[in-house]
Amino acid sequence: MLPAVTSLVPTRPHTEMQDKITEVKKVIQLLESEKKVEYEKNQAVTHQKNQMAFQLRQEIKRLSMDLADRSREERCRDAFQKRGLTYGEKQEGEILAIQEQKRLAELKKLDALNHSTRKKQRHLEELQREYEMLKPHTGRACPDVQMTEQMATTVEAKLQETQEAVKEAEMKTAQHMRRRDILQDESRTYQSQLDSLKEEIEKQRKELQRVCLIHDKANSTKTMAESDLQQLTKQLNRKRVERRQTVVATRRIIEECKAEADASDQMAREMMAEDEARRRAARITAEEEERANTRDIFRMLQQTTAATSEQDIRRQHVSCTSETHEQQERLKKENLQLKEEKDLLRQQLYSMICEREARRIRDQQTLEACEQQLQAQQQKSEQARENRDSLSQTLESIRPTILLLAKKLKHTSVDEDTDEQVDPDSVEFVLQQIKQCKAKFLALHTELQKQSDLKAVMKHMDEKFLVVVKERIPDDNNRIKLLDEGIPDVRDDEVGREEEAEGVVPEEAQKSDAQQETEDKPKKAQRTRRRKTKSQSSRDWR
C-alpha cells in the first residue's frame, strides 16, 4: 500500500514533477483498468464454472428423477449426445481420458490467471518503489499539494479495492479448486455408475424383448379379435337391415291404417257438415213457409172465425201447433241418439287403432325374442361346431395308432354287423375301427379269463414270437442267437429257483394268483388308455 503523503518538497522544476505525477496517474489508471479487466475475466470464468457445476448437479438430479420414467439406455444416449459423444462407440478409458483432458485444461487456465495476477502485483510493487524513491526529493510543497494528497488517497482507496477484489478472486479460485476436487471424487465413482448403468441396460433389454413377445402375442390376438369383430359386425348389420325392413313394413301398415281412419273421419265430418247444411236450409225454408202459412192461416182465421184479437188467434195456434212441438221433441231425441252413436263409433275406431298399435308392439317384442333365440341357437351351433372340430382333430391324430391296432388284431374274429360301407378317409371309419378293436379286446379278455393255465399261454405266445422272428431273420445269420428247445428259459429257471427258495406253492394259490393277474391286466390297460387320451387331449388343447 502507498504511504500517506504529508508534505512534498519539490527539488526539480514544477513541470517535471507534474509530468511524473501524470505518468504515475496514467500507470495507476492502466493498472486499475487491467485489474478490472482481469477481475471481470475471473468473475466470468468463475461464474461459468459455477454455472457448469450447477448444471451438472441439476443434470444429476434430473437423471435420478428420470430413472423411474425412462429406460437407462435412452438416458445414457441423451447424456452422451449432450456432451457431444456418440453412445456405444467410445470405451470407458477414452471417456475418462477426455474428462482428464478437460480437467487439465481448467488447471492450465487457473495457472495462467495466477501468473498474470503475480505479474501485476510485481509491477505494482515496482511503481510503489519508484514512488518511494521520488518522495525524499520533494522538499517544498508545490501549489498542488492538496490535490496530489487527495489523488494519493483516492489511489490508495482504489488500490485497497483492487486488493479486496484480488482476495475475493483468490477465495473464488479456492472454491473452484474445492469444486474441482469434488468433481474428481465424483469422476472416480463414474466407473461403478457405468457398470450399474450397463447392468440396468441389460435388464431393460431383456424386459424389452419380453415386452416385444407379449406385444406380438397381443397383436395376433388383436387380429383374431378384429376378424371375429368383423364377422359379428356383418351379422349385426344384416340383422339391423332385416329389423329396419320389418320396422318400415310395420310403419307402412300403421300409416295405411291411420290414413284409412283419417279418411273415414273426414268422410264422417263431411257427411255431418252436409247434413247440418241441409238441415239449416230445410229449417230456414220451413220457417219461411211456416211464416207464410201462419200469415195465410191468420188471414183465413180472421176471415173464417172473425177473430179480432191476437190472443184468440194465438190460442187457436197453440192448440194447432201442439202436434208440431211433439214432432220437434221426437226429432231432438233422434238427434241425441245419432250423436251417441257417433261417439260410440269414434270410441270403437280409437280402440281399433290402440289394438293395432298393441299388436304391432307385441309383434316387435316377439320378433326381438325370436332374434335373441336365434342368436343363442347360433352360439350353441358354433360351440357344437368347435367341439366337433376338436373331436375330429383328436380322431385324426389317433388315426394311425387305431389303424395299426386294427391291423394287429386282424386275426381275431368278432360276430358283428359290418354291412355298412364307410369311406376310409372319413372320421366315421376311425370310430368304426375303435368299436371293432374294443369288441376284439373284450373277446380276447373273455378268452384269457377262460384259460386256466397262464404259463401255457405265455409259452404259446413265446413260441409264436420265435416263429415270427425266425421267419424274418435270414438264413446266413451269425450275430443273432435264438433260444433252442433244449436250452431252458431263463424265466423258468428263475421261477424254479424262487419256488425252491420259498417252498412249493399250492395249486389253489397259483390259480388265485393267475386269476388276479387276469383281472388286473384289463384294469392296467384301461388306466394306460386313459392316460394316453388325457395326454393327447392336453396336446391338442395346447
| Residue 487 confidence class, pLDDT cut points 50, 70, 90 | very low
Identify the pLDDT of residue 141.
44
Select the more confidently predicted residue: 137 or 120. 120
Quick one: cell of 201? 441396460
Q: Is the pLDDT of residue 112 over 70?
A: yes
Angle, vertex CA 111, rays to CA 106 and CA 114, nearest 5: 130
Total H helices, total E strands in the chain: 11, 0
Pick from 313, 291, 293, 292: which is nearest to 304 by CA?
313
Pick from 307, 23, 9: which is nearest to 140 by CA?
9
Residues 236, 230: Cα–Cα separation, whole Å: 10
Residues 362, 357: Cα–Cα separation, whole Å: 9
Which H, E and C letters describe 450-461, residue by residue? HCCCHHHHHHHH
| Residue 124 confidence class, pLDDT cut points 50, 70, 90 | confident
Select the more confidently predicted residue: 55 or 248. 248
Residues 425, 406: Cα–Cα separation, whole Å: 15
Q: Dihedral through CA 122, CA 126, CA 129, CA 135, nearest 10?
A: -130
Quick one: cell of 4? 500517506
- Render 285-302 in DSSP notation, one character per residue: HHHHHHHHHHHHHHHHHH
Mean pLDDT, residues 6-23 taken together: 58
pTM attached to this predicted model: 0.27
DSSP code, position 84: T
Angle, vertex CA 174, rays to CA 48 and CA 169, nearest 5: 65
Residue owning grid cell 455408475:
193
Q: What are phi and psi of 13, to 5 degrees?
A: -65, 160
Within 8 A by CB and 6+ apart from 27, the residues are 127
Pick from 157, 138, 162, 159: which is nearest to 21 by CA?
138
Identify the pLDDT of residue 522.
58
Residues 427, 396: Cα–Cα separation, whole Å: 7
Residues 472, 476: Cα–Cα separation, whole Å: 12
Which H, E and C letters describe 34-53, residue by residue? HHHHHHHHHHHHHHHHHHHH
Select the more confidently predicted residue: 242 or 479. 242
The tens digit of pLDDT for each residue in 322-360 reads: 777 777 888 888 889 888 988 898 888 888 888 888 888
Q: Is the pLDDT of residue 541 over 50?
A: no
The tens digit of pLDDT for each residue in 355-380 reads: 888 888 888 888 888 888 888 888 88
Residues 382, 327: Cα–Cα separation, whole Å: 82
The tens digit of pLDDT for each residue in 426-476 reads: 878 888 888 888 888 888 888 877 776 777 778 887 887 788 777 777 766
Residues 331, 325: Cα–Cα separation, whole Å: 10
